[in-house]
Amino acid sequence: MNAVQSLRNYAVITGGYWAFTLTDGAIRMLVVLYFHQLGYTPLAIASLFLFYEFFGIITNLVGGWLGARFGLNTTMHAGMLLQVIALLMLTIPSEFLTIVYVMAAQALSGIAKDLNKMSAKASVKHFVPSSNDNGTTSRKLFKWIAILTGSKNTLKGVGYFLGGLLLAVYGFQNALTILAGGLFVVFLITLFLLPRDLGKTKAKAKFSQLFANDPAINWLAAARFFLFGSRDVWFVVGLPVYLTSTLGWGFEQIGSFFALWIIAYGLVQAATPAFLKQHTPTGKTTTILATILMLLPILIAYGLYQSSEPTTVLLIGLSLFAIVFAMNSAVHSYLIVEWSDHDKVAMNVGFYYMANAGGRLTGTVLSGLIYQHYSLIGCLIASTLFVASASLLSTQLPSHKKAPDS
């Protein structure tokens, strides 16, 4: 594949990923706001997303194997179609939108999201040749992965705004129909523009190979579990409840704040290669970043305990946390692709994001449980312990590891 073809395919993958991500952010905001209007309790609304997270674990595990066996083009477009179906499922009259039914639709959306994410990130490996001695292609891969990952998170934040706007202008059912129609058009375009056999292995991929990973990939996946658990253990439930119950923020303020935080987080991820300049990340990079990150939640907790200005403490602390966490996440996303050979990249990425989903689910559950008993400070202390675990696991990663040959 020449440079022009590689860049074209990368642009198509990125465009499809952007379109999907807009619907992913929008549907979350639509569901939260609409069911709040219907009088659902916060706990009932939170339960609507439980299967969304749970099925991410299963999908990432199976999806990587499916991508290797049938091609990443197939799994990516299967994810798009499932998202279209999930969106249309929610367009029925509101009297039929029971909690169980909406949970089922969100489960389908969660499966779609992780199929699409795994496929997009694994695909980039096939557009960049194996690393050469001077590391030029390693830096190129790092840049492309960072842009893909960062722009995705930025657009998810934009999707929150889009969901609220469509709900206000068109109503719930019409908003979902517009999103489904737009994504289906993108599905048709990317289906014909991408190579049919993208990511498909020459030999039949065996399901048992999912767990036959290089030790470095296993350590990286374990570190990823605790890294994302460290964010969600205070960010998912503890922080929004604290903002509304203790600081008196309105729902609009909280929604806008979260959207802006995610947009900024994505921008930092995309800019991480520029921040690190000519440095190509290694396992040592993740250890350094995790160690720095470990200090932030405990300092925020101390600030909340001591300060009479909790809003200031949170805004400064969250800004610093977003910067360091985003850089750490960007380096992780690069390493899992760089350290995987071409035939196993889909399975390795799927295995890795299974750990990511597991960390998010664990963090989400603990966020509610710990906040109920120990408030936000307890969640932040738990976050510190999670980051400490990620830092410790990162010390097992190689300082220098040459990417496998294709």
What is the rounded distance in angstroms from the CA atom of residue 125 to the CA atom of residue 213?
Answer: 17
What is the rounded distance in angstroms from the CA atom of residue 19 to the CA atom of residue 167?
Answer: 18
pLDDT score at 254 = 77
What is the rounded distance in angstroms from the CA atom of residue 186 to the CA atom of residue 80?
Answer: 9
| pTM metric for this prediction | 0.80
Its domain, for residue 245, covers 3-394
What is the rounded distance in angstroms from the CA atom of residue 330 to the CA atom of residue 115?
Answer: 19
DSSP secondary structure, 179-217, as one string? HHHHHHHHHHHHHHHS-TTTT--SSPPPGGGGG---HHH
CATH number for the domain spanning 142: value is 1.20.1250.20
Q: Which of 95, 255, 79 is nearest to 184 (CA)?
A: 79
Q: Which of 160, 152, 140, 65 is nearest to 113 (CA)?
A: 152
pLDDT score at 291 = 96
The distance of Cα 386 from the centroid of its chain, to the nearest Å, equals: 18
* 402 located within any domain: no
With H, G, I as helix, E, B as strand and everything else as coil, classify residue 4. helix
What is the rounded distance in angstroms from the CA atom of residue 182 to the CA atom of residue 24?
Answer: 13
What is the rounded distance in angstroms from the CA atom of residue 149 to the CA atom of residue 143?
Answer: 10
* 193 located within any domain: yes
Helix axes 345-394, 310-338, angle to 10 degrees: 130
Number of separate domains in the chain:
1
Contact 205, 62 (CB under 8 A): no
* 332 located within any domain: yes
* 317 located within any domain: yes
* 215 located within any domain: yes
What is the rounded distance in angstroms from the CA atom of residue 403 to the CA atom of residue 406?
Answer: 9
* 403 located within any domain: no
* 404 located within any domain: no
* 320 located within any domain: yes
pLDDT score at 11 = 86
What is the rounded distance in angstroms from the CA atom of residue 119 to the CA atom of residue 401?
Answer: 24
Q: Which residues, 6+ apart, have CB-to-CB distance to 379 below 8 Å?
A: 233, 234, 238, 239, 366, 367, 370, 371
Write out the chain's pLDDT in tens, 406 residues. 566 777 788 888 888 989 999 999 888 888 877 887 788 776 677 677 778 878 878 888 787 778 777 778 888 899 999 999 999 999 998 888 888 898 899 999 989 998 988 888 888 777 765 555 455 667 778 888 888 888 888 888 888 888 888 888 899 999 999 999 999 999 999 988 887 766 555 555 565 566 656 888 899 999 999 999 999 899 877 888 888 888 988 767 877 888 888 889 999 999 999 888 767 888 999 999 999 999 999 999 999 999 889 999 999 999 999 999 999 999 998 998 888 876 677 788 888 888 988 898 888 888 888 888 888 999 999 999 999 999 999 999 987 655 444 4
